Chain A
Amino acid sequence: MRVLLNNVIHLWQTRWAFKLTLIYLLGLILFILLLPVMPLAYTPNQMDLQHTFLEPFVSTAHLFGTDQLGRDVLVNILYGARNGLAIAFIVMLLSTIVGTTIGAVAGYFGNTYKISRSLLLVIIATVAIIAYYGLYLPMQVKLQDLPVRVGYTSAIVGVAISFILWFAVRPLLRRASFLNKHVSFPADALTLRTIELVTSLPKLLILISVAAFAPPSVFILCVIFIFTYWTTPARLARAEMLRIKQLPYMEAALSLGLKHRQIILTQGLPNIISPVVVNFIFGVGSLLAIESTLSFLGIGLPPTFPSWGRTISGIRSDLSAWWLVVFPGGFLAITLLALHICSFYLLQLTQEKRKV
């Protein structure tokens, strides 16, 4: 982690382009955080039907012009930046956490981790119970408009059964000699197969088709994003973990008597983090692009959700309204460029270090 920070400081001091992009990104984030207290004349969904397709720089009320419903372009750009970056950042953060955890564990244990049959049985049973009581029943309650009491009861019952399983049934199962045998758990193979499964179809195709089946909502879209984006950090973390597992300090940590969990957290993670961070920055950019593409196509996001893509899609009803593309599109391109440059320099530095 400290290496990474040193890298950033080093780049900040030596590369002016990196400095510029970092200043831009930090400024953008600060701007977004200050958005609620800023004195803006309009809200992003406020319509001014007297002035539709107003050209930019002619009216002081709408500096960047208005779109087909008279919504102010400038305000929409600002709110679009906030929404886009918030979605991209949160989704990428969650998928990086999920992916890195899975990848690091898979890389560390490989296919040889020994697990007793009783534990395996209990884990599988718990997953099934949580799926039924924690996911299926609450979803049914929501879909069929049943009383909330039913949902609570099922959640409580689910937790209670899992507790009984772990603290009463598992010690009992241990007594049976058959269930006490250890089998190797194929963590690595399982992870690889799952990644292969998810990546067997193009990302945009999965996104579009699943977003089509569900009603448009930001939450569902985020879930699908995470489902398709965790694979890259998982693959990177696994590869890095496989590499550093051979190094002497890991062996030293093991011989010191540290637990596996401690080794992964304190020795492993800090040393596999830099490619993951580079991927994080890159992924935020790609998510920004995909989010605005989806909202441009009108798929997956509700039409009341201010986004760069929504503003740009106004061009489809009037081809001469160039300001609807140039301003948000330019903003989008500059932000993506900044993110690309950032990740490019970091990647270059880590690759140089590896060669030495």
Chain B
Amino acid sequence: MLRYLFKRLLLAIPVLWVMVSVIFILSRILPGTFGEQILLADEGFYGNGAKQERALAYQQLLERTNQQLPVFYVGLTPLSESNTSQNYSYLLPQFTWHGAQNQYHLWVSALLTGSLGESFASARPVNAMIGEAAANTFWILSISMVLTMLLALVLGTSMVLGKGIRLRRIILPALIVLDSFPFFVLCLLMLLLFANPDMLQLFPAFGLGFLAPGHESGFLQTLQQFPYFVLPILCLVLANLPYLTNQFYTSLAGTMQAEYIRTAHAKGLTPFQVVTHHALRNALLPVITILSDMIPALVAGAVVIEVIFAIPGIGRLLVTSVLARDFPVIVGIVVVIALVKMLSHVVADICYALVDPRIKQDAR
């Protein structure tokens, strides 16, 4: 088992490495660098300074953020006015070797020591920024995931039990309708219904309340923040419920056709016992994969939900840094999410082995 896990990890790391590197390099070679707006004439905050001062400020910014260095170890010599107007030398690609002083090398060597770099915009370490934001996201996502799973389990089980057919006729179409609301529309509708003075003002709409750090104990603070979490969690549950319930139901309905279920019925077990003791464990197997694949959906959900409900989490950090073109933060979030996804796959593998002893046998 351990050897199998190790092999999976070894195979997953290069893939992730390539993908994250591509994202990093894309962030640096695509046109538009951070701080470019300084150079814009007669516009914005920097508009008052002389042109030279602005150029100097831009140069200093580039040096502070290492953006003036070449991107990769090897680079093509860029075209310029001089080598295109006179001769045709640009038609021959010229490679130049930049050595270790390049942005990619610096980024990777920082990453290997565990640092994700410094934010362009605020000059704070990205690790700290992500660390602050991660807690809120983590709680919202994990609570909503557990709730969704429980609800889906209850719904799926009740649909295969005795009078399930009638229930199925109502639930399945309702879930399809629910599924066709895009997530952000669903959130906004909830917001309009439950946090609006014109309709029902049951919950606070935005943010996490006024925080007074060190003033109250952690538990009290959590209690105080609880109303702010209700709507986001409700939205996430509603958004993920249709898919998960459908998967549970299909998997359970398939298992209920098996021979050993008939045997269990013949033994005289009640239908409820048959499901809980015999069917559920086998039906859970495909659901594990689905759960580990749900991470992308959850990330998408986190982005939308944190923007709409103004919760300071990873998704909101991502969107604000995208709008500010703060590349180190974006790339840092990509790295963190990639790691989380890889870990979730490993956890899924372990769960597989726990649920299904046959897999453990095979892996040896």
Residues of A near any B CB (own CB < 8 A): 132-133, 136-137, 140-141, 143-144, 146-147, 150, 153-154, 157, 193, 196-198, 200-206, 208-215, 285, 288-289, 292-293, 296-299, 309, 312, 315, 319-320, 322, 325-326, 329, 332-334, 336-337, 340-341, 344
Instruction: Show 10 A/B contacts (Cβ-Cβ < 8 Å), sorted by A.
Output: A157-B91, A205-B334, A208-B303, A208-B318, A209-B334, A299-B322, A320-B196, A322-B198, A336-B181, A340-B180
Please tell me if the beta carbons of A293 and B27 are within 8 angstroms of each other in the complex. Answer: no
Listed residue (A209, A319, A344) with the most chain B CB atoms within 10 angstroms of its CB? A209
Do A202 and B300 have beta carbons less than 8 Å apart?
Answer: yes
Tell me if B295 and A340 are in contact (CB < 8 A).
Answer: no
Measured between C-beta atoms, what is the minimum distance from A343 to chain B in Å? 11
Closest B residue to A328 using CB positions: B185
Distance in angstroms between the alpha carbons of A153 and B303 in the assembled complex: 45
With A213-B327, A333-B181, A337-B180 known to touch, is A150 a contact of B18 (CB < 8 Å)?
no
Q: Mark B61-98, 1 if CB is under 8 A from A, else 0.
A: 00000000000000010111100110010110100000
Complex: how many Å from CA A150 to CA B82? 12
Contact pick for B19, options A154, A201, A293, A322, CB 8 Å: A201
| A66 → B minimal CB distance (Å) | 18
Query: A298 vs B181: C-alpha distance in the bound complex, in angstroms?
Result: 20
User: How far is A332 from B184 in the complex, measured between Cα atoms in Å?
Assistant: 11
Query: Tally of A-B residue pairs with Cβ under 8 A?
Result: 161
Check if B200 is an interface residue, CB within 8 A of chain A: no
- Chain B residues near A329 (CB, 8 Å)? 181-182, 185, 188-189
Q: Evaluate contact between A196 and B15: CB separation under 8 angstroms.
A: yes
Whether B211 is near chain A, meaning CB under 8 Å from some CB there, is no
Known: A200-B341, A214-B30, A333-B180. A325 touches B78 (CB 8 A): no
Instruction: Evaluate contact between B330 and A322: CB separation under 8 angstroms.
Output: no
Closest-by-CB residue of A relative to B78 is: A140
Q: How far is the CB of A23 from chain B (nearest CB, A)?
A: 17
* Residue B350, interface by CB 8 Å: no
Pairwise interchain contact A332-B188, C-beta atoms closer than 8 A:
no
A133 to B91, CA, bound (A): 8
| Inter-subunit contact B337/A201 (CB<8 Å) | yes
A153 to B179, CA, bound (A): 53
- How far does the Cβ of B86 sit from chain A's closest Cβ, in whole Å? 12
Please give, as numbers and ranges, the residues of chain B lying within 8 Å of A332 by CB-CB distance. Answer: 182, 185
Separation of A267 and B25 alpha carbons in the complex (Å): 42
Whether the Cβ atoms of B32 and A297 lie closer than 8 Å is no
The answer to whether B79 and A144 touch across the interface, beta carbons within 8 angstroms, is: yes
User: Which of B181, B192, B296, B307 touches A204 (beta carbons < 8 Å)?
Assistant: B296
Q: Report the separation of the CA atoms of residues A218 and B212 in the bound assembly, to the nearest whole angstrom.
A: 44
The residue of chain A having its C-beta at the shortest distance from the C-beta of B177 within the complex is: A337
Is B31 positioned at the interface, with any CB of A under 8 Å from its CB?
yes
Q: Give the distance to chain A from B254, nearest Cβ to Cβ, in Å.
A: 12
List A contacts of B189 (CB < 8 A). Answer: 325-326, 329
Binding site for A on B (CB under 8 A): 12, 15-16, 18-19, 23, 26-27, 30-32, 76, 78-81, 84-85, 88, 90-91, 93, 176-177, 179-185, 188-189, 191-192, 196-198, 205, 295-297, 299-300, 303-304, 307, 318-319, 321-323, 325, 327, 330-331, 333-334, 337-338, 341
Q: Are B19 and A137 in contact (CB under 8 A)?
A: no
Which residues from A are CB-within-8-Å of B19?
197-198, 200-201
> Of all chain B residues, which has the CB nearest A198?
B19
A202 touches B299 (CB 8 A): yes
B151 vs chain A, min Cβ distance (A): 21
Contact A296 B205 (CB under 8 A): no
The list of the 4 closest CB pairs from A to B, nearest first, reads A202-B296, A337-B180, A329-B185, A212-B322
CB-defined contacts of B296 to chain A, threshold 8 Å: 202-205
Q: Report chain A residues within 8 Å CB of B338.
A: 200-201
Q: When chains A and B are docked, how far (Å) is the Cα of A208 from the Cα of B188? A: 21
Q: How far is the CB of A132 from chain B (nearest CB, A)?
A: 6
Q: How far is the CB of A17 from chain B (nearest CB, A)?
A: 9
Chain A residue contacts of B81, Cβ below 8 A: 146
CB distance from A213 to the nearest CB of B (A): 4
Contact B78 A336 (CB under 8 A): no
Q: Which residues of B contact A211 (CB under 8 A)?
A: 322
Between B78, B185, B333, the greatest number of chain A beta carbons within 10 A of the residue's beta carbon is seen for B185
Say yes or no: A214 contacts B31, CB within 8 Å. Answer: yes
A196 smallest CB distance to B (angstroms): 6
- How far does the Cβ of A348 sit from chain B's closest Cβ, in whole Å? 12
Q: Given the known A-B contacts A202-B299, A289-B182, A329-B189, are A213 and B323 also in contact in the complex, defined by CB atoms under 8 Å?
A: no
Q: Is the CB of B15 within 8 A of A150?
A: no
Chain A neighbourhood of B185, CB < 8 A: 312, 325, 329, 332-333
* B-side contacts of A196, CB under 8 Å: 15
Q: In the bound complex, do residue A202 and residue B32 qualify as a contact, i.e. CB atoms below 8 Å apart? A: no
Interface hub of A133, A202, A210, A320 (most chain B Cβ within 10 A)? A202
Q: Does B18 contact A197, Cβ atoms closer than 8 Å?
A: yes
